[in-house]
Structures are given as structure tokens and as C-alpha cells.
Structure 1
Amino acid sequence: MNELHVAGLTKSYGAGEPVLRGLELTVPAGALAAVLGPSGCGKTTMLRIVAGFLRADAGTVRLGDRLLAGPGVHLPPERRRIGIVPQEGALFPHLSVARNVAFGLRGTDRAERRRRTEELLDLVGLAGYGDRMPHELSGGQQQRVALARALAPRPQLVLLDEPFNALDSALRTGVRSDVRAALRATGATAVLVTHDQQEALSTADLVAVVRDGQVAQCATPQDLYRRPADPWIADFVGDAVMLPGTVDSDGTARTALGPVPLATPPGDLRAGTVLLRPEQLRLTDADSEDAVRGTVTDVRYYGHDAMVTVTVEGHDTPVGIRVAGLLAVRPGEETGIRVVGEAGFHS
């Protein structure tokens, strides 16, 4: 088995504040986990400790039944059976594509190296590119070669360190999809470090949000988006509409947008923050009986949808409403707002 289990990971640099504060993370065998967080939260430090490039001050790293790091144990990187896909590919510029992929296959005979190289290039969609040099490839093709090189020795774990940063937005989606498909085809466990929320949600089986050196929440992308553990995570992972609210005895929250049913009973909590996503709000006629009246202040059109900002009486912060299809409102116009679905509730 190749399950990754990180427990109690702590790391400081010099006399400064700890970067990691007892970080815990488990990635099931064969899963792709995204480690998501703002700059400086500790996600890259965690990756480097798992890879063996840094020593932790405390804690353990296990891969399957092997202890890679722990009290008195620090297995060197070359013995960890971990493949690494760095930022921008980092291919050897003087080696052909095929020789880059075969670099980690030393100790095998020439025929086996060639067979494995061709197999991996076919897997990442670059069959027939073996004789090309790295400078003859696009950025997306270079990242595919870097992935093939990481997978060639059949690692138990693949670490991807923000590998799509250098790609333009039009190319990034396609390369992410190809990388995800290649990882699933090999069955390798993988960890993707990123600060891109959309990338994490659309690519990973599991998303771990890191805050101040700890995993604040780890869940499937859908659960993380729909049931964030606190308002900070809600605001960090996607757009959020947060309103003060009071809870009635029937489990309904009273807000500036009217009564909103709650997904989970709040227990004894009677006042707090009601959490909604912009797609849970609908624009309706300003005179609708079941709608709250507001004034449109801004419209941002993205093609596939638009974000309409509306001010509502009794709420100081304008609310964002995600609208699909044709827009029927303009800044300055009055509109109605109706809430659909259930909301989260936090203290």
C-alpha cells in the first residue's frame, strides 16, 4: 500500500515562529490530494519534508508501511520512492525528451528503458516526441515530460509543487486534466501543492486547507465548498456571502435576505454568521412577495456567468450573486433577491 500519513509535523527556521505547528495529513492510496493555502502557510515546507529535502523538528512521515522520517530516522530522498514534478518542469536542457524521461531508470537494461520511456510518453500524450529537445516544446508539453520523468521509476508517491503556475490560463486546464488522467492510470498516490482554489477543487480527490502551519480542514472538494469548517475557509475557498443572523426555534436563520433554512442545527447557538454561496441567490422581480429588494451596484460579466453585486437594506456589505445566462439588470436598477437551498451557520 502507498498511503501517505503525516503526523505532528513541526518545523521552524532559526529562532523564528514555527512554520509548521503539528500538521496532520493522511492521503489514501491512489488518491490525488491538493494542499491549498495562502503564501507562507507552510504547504511548501511540508512538501519538502515529505520529499526528504528538509528535516522536521518533530513528527513523522510514513508511506505505506515505511517510516520515512521520525525520531532518529531521516531516509534520504533517493531512497523514498517519491517522484517530484517541480515548477516549470525543470527538464535537463541538454538531454532529449526520451533521455529526460529515462534519467531515473538507471540500473535497467537499454531495451527496458526504451520500452518504459515510450510507455510513459504515450501515457502523457507525447508519443513520438522522444527525439525532441526541451526548448522545442511548449510549456504544457514540458510539464507533461516532467510528469513522465517522475512516474518512470514507478514511485509510490508523486509530489507536484505548483506545476501549472507558468502556464497561461487557456493551457492550464487541459494540462491539469492530462496530469490527473496520467496519475490515475498509474495508481500512484499524489500530493499537489497550490494556492489556486479553482485548481484544487477541480483537480483533486481530497483538498487540505493549510492555515498557520496546520490543516484547518481536509475534505472532498464538494464537502469543503458546501460545508466549510469556519468563515475563513468559506471565504478562502471560493466566493462567499456572509450575513449576521439569529436562529428561530424551527432552525431557520433570520437575515437581511429574509428567513434562511440551515443545513445543520446550531445547537444552543442563537446568533452568528450565516454562510451562503453566490449561486444560492436568485435575482427576481423587485416586487415579488418572497424576495428582498436591493439595488444593483456592479455587474462583472465572465462569459459563462456573471457576478452581480447588490446592496440590501439592513446589511452594510454588498452581496454577490452568480448569474448564468443572459443578464437582465444594470447598475442602478432595483431587483429582488431570493435565497435557494440551505445555509451554513457559524459562531
Structure 2
Amino acid sequence: MNDLQAAGDLQVAGAVKAYGPGAPVLDGLDLTVPGGALAAVLGPSGCGKTTLLRVVAGFLRADAGTVTVAGRLLGGPGVHLPPERRRIGIVPQEGALFPHLSVARNIAFGLRGADRAAKRARVAELLELVGLAGYGDRMPHELSGGQQQRVSLARALAPEPQLVLLDEPFSALDTGLRETVRADVRAVLRATGATAVLVTHDQQEALSTADLVAVLREGRVAQCAAPEELYRRPADPWVASFVGDAVFLPGEAERDAVRTALGTLPLGPAPAGLKAGTVLLRPEQLRITDADTAQAEGTVTDVRFLGHDALLAVAVDGLDEPLTVRAPGPVPARPGDRVGITVTGEATLHAPDRG
């Protein structure tokens, strides 16, 4: 067995899917996931995340476009392979294990054609891989939620699929367990070299888990990039605000800088010819300082303590809306305090968001 050979790149081109009159749920969507990569598909409710997964899995037939895995056409004009012929493993929400089958029999369910010894060996291998060696005889109800998700992943990996689809698999877990299980799942996928697509509504989960994050908006991919690139260089203000806290203010470009109410800031890459627009900063780029050394001054209007840091709303002189400042460590100011603000790092300039 060589799981690395089973991995294949996913290519979705021009996918369209509508459920009736009106705007389609998928509207010419394009997505490429390289072989061996873990991609997260992220977006608001109704953007097409689940529909995309179901089209790739073969549960839905697209109205237009193609789905290709490892160079093999799975869906397109005149072609629609059924799910069982696609070599795609699926990890659904809450595991969805067969309650009447043992852990071992759940994992072995998709191993058709293998002899009994080969099945036992494959099941034992996967139980070891997901950290559940010795659990084969247990029933699903005897496992914790996190253990059930590991078994579900093992079942999906058992027939050596070319692609694994994970449909919000951690949503039913509590916060602490969710972080542990998704780290374990990421490690297992790395160990097998599997290509995987994780559908999620959790921005932190997408950024911390995936190699690529595709943000969907109204049935299309608004941006697909590595997590750090997506966060630091979002395609537009909407993407910026969807993948994290964002600070927006008007600005005017001048060469490699931009003039704002927070002073003249170094400017990162900007659209050619754009002279004025929306400046993006992240809250952690803003620092609370003494007023006499600051680039701008304002009054603290609200403080939200988060433990490891705090978010301060500061009404800055010359701006209509308060800005959000992320302050690590002890809270540096209280509502009503007069403070100074300095900015670190580059700003990015965008054309005003069209909504």
C-alpha cells in the first residue's frame, strides 16, 4: 500500500448548480486543490459550500462545468460518475458511524474485494494511525465524540481514496476537544499524503488547519490562497472582514505610502492606478501609546477582555467610526481614557467594497 500514490489534485471548473428559478447556488465556480494539500472551503451561510461538496462527491449533478480528480473526469457534459465510483472518501458531520457495527467493522465497511486477512491488517493499520489501536471491538456508543470522528476518518481513508471530503466534521465538538481533534485529523491526512477538502464556517479553523483557504461568496471563489496570504493580502474589504477582525479607514496613496487619519503609513501592494480608497489594517497592527509619541489620538469607548488579549474600541479624532485595537497582556486603558495610537507594518489599499 502507498497512500501517497492515491492522492490526486482536484479541479472544479465553471461549476453551476441551481435548485430552481433565481440565482444559482454555484455560479461558475472554479477551484483547484493540488495533490496532497488540505484545502478549507469557507464562507457565509448560503454561499454554496455544501452544494460544492455534494457536487464533487457525486451526490448532486452540476448543471454546467466539470469536476476532475487526478486527471479523471468525474462530472461534466454527458458524464456523471456515481459516488461509489469516484474514489472519494467522506467524513460527515458527527461521524455518522453505523451504530450496530463495531469500530473495526465500520472501518472495514468500504473494503470490498479484499480478503479477511487483508481487511484485518488494513483496519489495524488505520486504528494505529488515528490513535485508537485496541479499540476495534468497541461499539460507536462507547466512544467519545472525538474518537468517533477519528473512526469516521479511518473509514474514509480505508479504501485509499484519491480525495477526502470533510463536511464540518468538528462542529458538534466542544471548543477544547475541537482543537485537539482537528490537529489529529490534520496529522493523519499529512501522514497519508491525502488530498482533502474541509468545508467549514469557522474562520479560525480554516486558517489554522488548511494549506489553502478558498473563500466563497455568492457561488464563486472570492479568493483562494495560503492562510497567511489570505489574511495579510485579502482580495477586497469583504474578504478581509470575513477572515478576521479588520480596521478600515479612508486613505489617499502617494508613491509607496498612504495618507490616513492615523498618519502617513507604508503601503503594501495596491491596485494599479488606485489613488484613493479603503485602507485595511488588522487590529494587532495598532498600538496604544502615550499621546505625545503617537501618530493619532483618541478616546477609549469600549473594552472587551479576552484573556490572552483585549479588544479596545477607540474613537480617533477625525474619524466617524471607532477603530478596534488588539492589545496583548494587561488591558492598557479603560473606557473614557485618552490614548495615543501608533501603527506597525504595512497598510493595504483597496477600491471601496461594492457590498
With normalisation by structure 2, the TM-score equals 0.95
**Equivalent-residue separation in structure 2 for 1:223 and 1:328 (angstroms):** 30
Check conservation: 1:287, 1:293, Cα contact below 8 A.
no
Partner of 2:153: 147
Confirm or deny that 1:19 pairs with 2:32. Answer: no
One-letter identity of the residue aligned with 1:157: L
Partner of 2:338: 334
Partner of 2:4: none
One-letter identity of the residue aligned with 1:276: L
Confirm or deny that 1:128 pairs with 2:143. Answer: no
Partner of 1:261: 266
**Equivalent-residue separation in structure 2 for 1:32 and 1:259 (angstroms):** 39
What is the percentage of aligned positions where both structures have the same residue? 73
Check conservation: 2:270, 2:348, Cα contact below 8 A.
no
- 1:265 deviation in Å? 4.6
**Equivalent-residue separation in structure 1 for 2:142 and 2:315 (angstroms):** 52
Check conservation: 1:194, 1:200, Cα contact below 8 A.
yes
One-letter identity of the residue aligned with 2:290: D
Match of 2:316 among 294, 301, 312: 312
Partner of 1:321: 325
Equivalent residue runs for 1:1-347 within 5 Å = 2-248=8-254, 250-288=255-293, 290-347=294-351
* Matched positions, count: 345
**Equivalent-residue separation in structure 2 for 1:202 and 1:28 (angstroms):** 18
Check conservation: 1:29, 1:189, Cα contact below 8 A.
yes
- 1:267 deviation in Å? 3.3
One-letter identity of the residue aligned with 2:146: G
**Equivalent-residue separation in structure 2 for 1:186 and 1:57 (angstroms):** 33
SS in 1 for 2:89: strand
- 1:106 deviation in Å? 2.2
- 1:16 deviation in Å? 3.0
**Equivalent-residue separation in structure 2 for 1:114 and 1:306 (angstroms):** 52
Check conservation: 1:28, 1:189, Cα contact below 8 A.
yes
Runs of 4 or more, structure 1, over 3 Å off, are none
SS in 2 for 1:254: strand
One-letter identity of the residue aligned with 1:47: L
With normalisation by structure 1, the TM-score equals 0.97
Check conservation: 1:251, 1:265, Cα contact below 8 A.
no
**Equivalent-residue separation in structure 1 for 2:272 and 2:169 (angstroms):** 43
Check conservation: 2:309, 2:331, Cα contact below 8 A.
no
Structure 2 gap segments, 5+ residues each: 1-6
**Equivalent-residue separation in structure 2 for 1:265 and 1:72 (angstroms):** 43
**Equivalent-residue separation in structure 1 for 2:43 and 2:332 (angstroms):** 37
One-letter identity of the residue aligned with 1:37: G
One-letter identity of the residue aligned with 1:309: A
- 1:266 deviation in Å? 4.5
SS in 1 for 2:24: coil
Check conservation: 1:244, 1:273, Cα contact below 8 A.
yes
Check conservation: 1:83, 1:159, Cα contact below 8 A.
yes
